[in-house]
């Protein structure tokens, strides 16, 4: 059996880092972890090829070569997935589709022969058995949760490591919290399921043996969901492995803000090599946090929690939302001030949307406020429901936030605010390679010579070089990120006009 695995293209979004990748000549931020894991679940005798459309285009010969085309995608990849499906049908090829996009919205897609939904550990093998027997059904789904201690190592041989800026692994699925707007518990449940420490180390070994050095992102939606196991087993195992291998990686992940309450956890994460965490902060407005049931953030000093994580040596990347029913008109200035004061350099501010299946989706449906499907990109100025606040006021307020926090003056002030007191993990050693050197020289030209941020770029360049030389590489990285973030929002605002 010949299987072509296709990963649809991401549009230019906040997290695509498309504009930043140009500085390093990388094609994509991360490889398609899900479909690489699915590939490892297919029969060993089957011949497999992968096309990641974020790295290169696909040609008709590749499609015609395959007996079946497997597609996995997230919501934001919807349009690219539809184009791939249409092209496969024109060429007479059968399509098998799975992943979060199809699990939540399979009824929106025509031309897919087989849907393998939910978690592949449960639904893929029944499909394979029926396919071989010549009696495959149209839809395979389940309401059960998979035992991910049985999940195989991703099939890394299918990718070209040189095309990616970072690698990724998964330790757990599910989140103990149930925020109204979030679909993670719909897709993966509220009881965190975890892999064993042996699995985690085996996956790190796999990346190491392929010659990878640099960032590894744990894709867990809440890495600290099972805090006890993390502290007693997983982090100590990673610490030992990192010391044995002389710290080839540095890690990032997603955590809830209550991680700031656990000094032991933060210490272990830093010792293991974590230097960045994404945190869903959402809003500085307490009433909005109550509305969306953001339990870890309620009744706490948000700024102090952020600064505590930073003091341990991990930069905080923040997720923020405007458009809650309880948002006052002052929310735009308050949120802008919060981001600047806390030194959150990577601040993803988006408009509230209601993914299908969430509690927010159900509530808005009952209230008759739903409009259309969620695009999967909450920074594209779209909303799929009627907000309580005047829509024009909301859009203009949102525009004012992103215009300010990603203006060169405010952005570079935020970078300096973070770096002046930031102390990354002592074990982390920056190893410059050809891509890093290329990125530095490109930044000098594109940001320091022709960029609108050139005055602020050079101020940060020399300040970090002479006062915080160990953080100079991070200062350049942030400069490049700022260019990407600003370009993304400029493009979105231009579409509105």
Angle at 392 between CA 387 and CA 398, to 5 degrees: 80
pLDDT exceeds 60 at position 95: yes
Banded model confidence at residue 433, pLDDT cuts 50, 70, 90: confident
Output the DSSP codes for 247-280: --EEEEEEE-GGGGG-HHHHHHHHHHTEEEEEEE
User: What predicted TM-score, i.e. pTM, was given to this entire model?
Assistant: 0.95
Spatial CA neighbour of 476 closest among 23, 16, 166? 23
pLDDT band at 432 (very low <50, low <70, confident <90, very high): low
Distance of CA 165 to the CA centre of its chain: 13
Instruction: Identify the pLDDT of residue 199.
Output: 98
Inform me whether the pLDDT recorded for 474 exceeds 70. yes
Report CA 117 to chain centroid distance, whole Å: 21
Contacts for 333-337: CB closer than 8 Å, 24+ residues apart: 334/284, 334/285, 335/283, 335/284, 335/401, 336/400, 336/401, 336/404, 336/405
Query: Tell me, what's the pLDDT at 428?
Result: 55
Give the model's pLDDT for residue 386. Answer: 97
The dotted CATH code for 166-419 is: 3.80.30.20
Is the pLDDT assigned to residue 376 strictly greater than 90?
Answer: no
For residue 183 the two structure tokens come to 């679909």
> What value does the mean pLDDT of the chain take?
95
Cα dihedral 198, 122, 217, 257, rounded to 10, equals -100
Burial class (CB in 10 A: 0-12, 13-18, 19+), 95: buried
* Residue 430 confidence class, pLDDT cut points 50, 70, 90: low
Residue 70 has pLDDT above 60, yes or no: yes
∠ CA 55-56-62, nearest 5°, is: 130
Q: What is the CA radius of gyration of the chain?
A: 22
Give per-residue pLDDT as tens, 245-288. Answer: 999 999 999 999 999 999 999 999 999 999 999 999 999 999 99
Pairing of strands 347-351, 315-322: parallel
Predicted confidence (pLDDT) at residue 427 exceeds the cutoff of 70: no
- Residue 434 has a pLDDT of 75
Residue 424: what pLDDT?
Answer: 80
**H or E element that contains 64:** helix 60-65
| Span of 386-390, 432-436, 438-442 with lowest mean pLDDT | 432-436
| Contact of 163 with 28, CB cutoff 8 Å | yes
> In this predicted structure, which of 223-232, 327-336, 376-385, 445-454 has the lowest mean pLDDT?
376-385
Q: What is the pLDDT of residue 258?
A: 97
Q: Nearest 5°: phi and psi at 217? A: -100, 120
Tokens read off for 36: 């690489």
What would the mean pLDDT of 121-127 be, rounded to a whole number? Answer: 98
Residue-level pLDDT at 431: 61
Whether pLDDT at 497 is above 80: no
Instruction: Give the CATH architecture of domain 2-140.
Output: 3-Layer(aba) Sandwich (3.40)
Is the per-residue pLDDT at 411 higher than 60?
Answer: yes
Residue 244 pLDDT > 60: yes
Can you give the residue ranges of every domain in the chain?
Answer: 2-140, 166-419
Model confidence pLDDT, tens digit, residues 172-220: 999 999 999 999 999 999 999 999 999 999 999 999 999 999 999 999 9
| Interval 474-491 mean pLDDT | 96
- At residue 495, the pLDDT reads 84
Asked if residue 193 lies in contact with residue 148, where contact means CB atoms within 8 angstroms, the answer is yes
Mean pLDDT, to the nearest integer, of 156-165?
97
């Amino acid at each position: 059996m010949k299987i072509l695995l296709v990963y649809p293209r991401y549009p230019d979004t906040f997290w695509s880092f498309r504009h930043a990748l140009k500085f390093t000549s990388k094609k994509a931020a991360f490889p398609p972890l899900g479909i690489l894991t699915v590939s490892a679940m297919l029969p060993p005798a089957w011949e497999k090829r992968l096309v990641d459309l974020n790295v290169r285009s696909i040609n008709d010969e590749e499609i015609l070569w395959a007996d079946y085309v497997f597609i996995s995608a997230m919501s934001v990849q919807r349009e690219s997935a539809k184009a791939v499906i249409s092209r496969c049908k024109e060429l007479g090829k059968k399509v098998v589709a799975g992943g979060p996009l199809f699990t939540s919205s399979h009824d929106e897609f025509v031309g897919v022969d087989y849907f393998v939904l939910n978690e592949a550990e449960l639904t893929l093998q029944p499909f394979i058995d029926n396919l071989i027997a010549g009696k495959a059904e149209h839809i395979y789904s389940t309401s059960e949760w998979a035992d991910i201690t049985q999940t195989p190592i991703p099939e890394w041989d299918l990718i070209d490591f040189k095309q990616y800026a970072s690698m990724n692994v998964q330790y757990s699925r599910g989140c103990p919290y149930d925020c109204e707007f979030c679909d993670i518990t719909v897709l993966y449940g509220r009881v965190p399921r975890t892999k064993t420490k042996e699995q985690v180390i085996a996956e790190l070994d796999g990346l190491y043996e392929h010659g990878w050095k640099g960032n590894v992102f744990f894709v867990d939606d809440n890495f600290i969901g099972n805090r006890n196991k993390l502290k007693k087993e997983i982090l100590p195992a990673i610490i030992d492995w990192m010391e044995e291998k002389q710290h080839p990686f540095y890690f990032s992940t997603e955590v809830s803000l209550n991680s700031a309450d656990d000094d032991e956890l933060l210490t272990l994460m830093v010792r293991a090599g974590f230097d960045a965490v994404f945190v869903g902060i959402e809003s500085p407005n307490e009433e909005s946090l109550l509305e969306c049931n953001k339990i870890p953030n309620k009744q706490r000093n948000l700024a102090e929690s952020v600064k505590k994580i930073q003091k341990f040596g991990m930069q905080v990347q923040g997720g923020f939302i405007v458009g809650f029913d309880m948002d006052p008109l002052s929310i735009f200035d308050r949120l802008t001030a919060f981001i600047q004061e806390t030194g959150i350099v990577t601040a993803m501010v988006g408009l509230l949307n209601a993914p299908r299946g969430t509690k927010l989706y159900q509530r808005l449906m009952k209230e008759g406020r739903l409009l259309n499907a969620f695009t999967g990109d909450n920074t594209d100025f779209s909303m799929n429901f009627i907000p309580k606040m005047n829509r024009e006021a909301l859009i203009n307020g949102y525009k004012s936030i992103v215009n300010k926090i990603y203006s060169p003056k405010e952005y570079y002030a935020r970078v300096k605010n973070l770096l002046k007191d930031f102390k990354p993990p002592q074990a982390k050693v920056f190893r410059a390679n050809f891509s890093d050197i290329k990125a530095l020289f490109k930044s000098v030209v594109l940001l320091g010579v022709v960029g609108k941020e050139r005055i602020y770029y050079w101020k940060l360049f020399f300040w970090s070089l002479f006062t915080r030389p160990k953080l100079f590489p991070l200062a350049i990285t942030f400069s490049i990120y700022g260019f990407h973030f600003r370009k993304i929002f400029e493009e979105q605002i231009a579409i509105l006009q």
